[in-house]
Structure 1
Amino acid sequence: MRTSLTLLAAAAVLSTAGIAQAADYAIDPTHTFASFEIGHMGATTNRARFDKKDGKISFDKAAKTGKVDISFETASVNSGTAMFDKHLQSAEILDAAKFPKAQFVSSKFVFNGDKVASVDGNLTLLGKTQPVTLKANQFNCYESPMLKREVCGGDFETTIDRTAFGVNYGIDWGFPKNVRLVLQVEAVKQ
């Protein structure tokens, strides 16, 4: 009887050994940025990024599943020009005083073979939530020689209609409503 129980326990352990488990990853703030680009009167492109961010990812490579929850402080917007940053933070655009965070949440990773091809989720900006798909331009997991842990990350992009979030500044003057979002994300396995 004892031998049977031992064999059953060993079989149970061996049968679950091959089952993949989702791992938790913390956003590496030194390798994670969200930036945006919008045309300026058909002549140039305005660009800025958010410097303060926080988030976590749960990722299971074998099961090809994952979850993302990343937020960016809207007051940390940085264009490289203080006066433009204040305008971006104002109620006319990001309304950072009233809406201190922009957030992307997802529970759907789309794969092409073993690589993440895109992440479908919801972007919340100015209290409004809209579905977005972040296309992966590249994605990889690697063993960090400095951290001695696995790091996963990639470059993602999407284009949003800013008016869907209530950002209508300059529409009457001919500023485009489409904004290109570019995300560089790396996260460290915990």
Structure 2
Amino acid sequence: MSHFLSNVAAHYKKPLLSIALLAGLIGSTHATTYLIVPDNSNARFEIDHFNTSTNTGGFYNITGQLQYDPDAKIGNISVVIPVNSLNTGNKAFDNVLISPDFFDADKYPLISFESTNWHFVDTNANGVGVGDVVKVDGNLTMHGSTHPVTLSATKFNCYFSFIAKSQVCGGDFTTTIDRRKWDISKYTLLGITEMVKLKIQIEAAKQ
């Protein structure tokens, strides 16, 4: 664990912040540990554009750690997202979004999510549903503010990857947030909605 924390801290040159974001993982000592695979993980967003179209984009190069035990119904995850990884397919628009008008990447270079509670399917008499993840509660830190969010799991599964030569767990999650809570409210009065839909894909390899 200390090796992982030091690597993330060194990578982002924000040692105190990175350690604080990931320290919550240490308590889950009985679950299997998985490292997030950046190539197979992302956080995409959709936001209505003046009620005529939908602007989309995503964040990449996500790092973090998952701890998971389906039998004991234990889960814990911390995710670190570099704001400068934002990609909408339009460089000019990217520059607008990472500017002080929106994410202000120079001042707030990281977005983080730390889970606080995992919800699992209740098992029936035959044990069906063991380990199935329904949703994950946690705290989303962005633009200098932290607020609780709940991610709904549309998929979550573990399998042995012959490519990674390791057990892999991952899933797709969705949520909708009000960007004003994080003080990102530019153009809401002009017709760009405050509600942003997030679609998060996470894959993590067993350590």
Deviation (angstroms), 1:52: 2.2
CA distance in 1, matches of 2:72, 2:119: 11
Partner of 1:187: 204
The runs of 5 or more residues in structure 2 that have no matched partner are: 1-28, 122-128
TM-score, normalised relative to structure 2: 0.80
Deviation (angstroms), 1:158: 0.1
Tell me how many residue pairs correspond in the alignment: 171
- Report if aligned partners of 1:66, 1:107 keep a CA contact under 8 Å in 2: no
Residues 88-99 of structure 1 mapped to structure 2, 5 A cutoff: 88-99=97-108
Partner of 1:25: 34
Deviation (angstroms), 1:29: 0.8
Structure 2 residue 178 is the aligned partner of structure 1 residue 140 = no
Structure number with greater Rg is: 1
Percent of matched pairs sharing the same residue: 42
Residues 1-190 of structure 1 mapped to structure 2, 5 A cutoff: 21-112=30-121, 113-114=129-130, 115-190=132-207
Runs of 4+ in 1 over 3 A off after TM superposition: none
TM-score, normalised relative to structure 1: 0.87
SS in 2 for 1:86: helix
Deviation (angstroms), 1:61: 1.3
SS in 1 for 2:67: strand
The runs of 5 or more residues in structure 1 that have no matched partner are: 1-19
CA distance in 1, matches of 2:30, 2:70: 9
- Report if aligned partners of 2:39, 2:61 keep a CA contact under 8 Å in 1: no
CA distance in 1, matches of 2:167, 2:105: 34
- Report if aligned partners of 1:33, 1:184 keep a CA contact under 8 Å in 2: yes
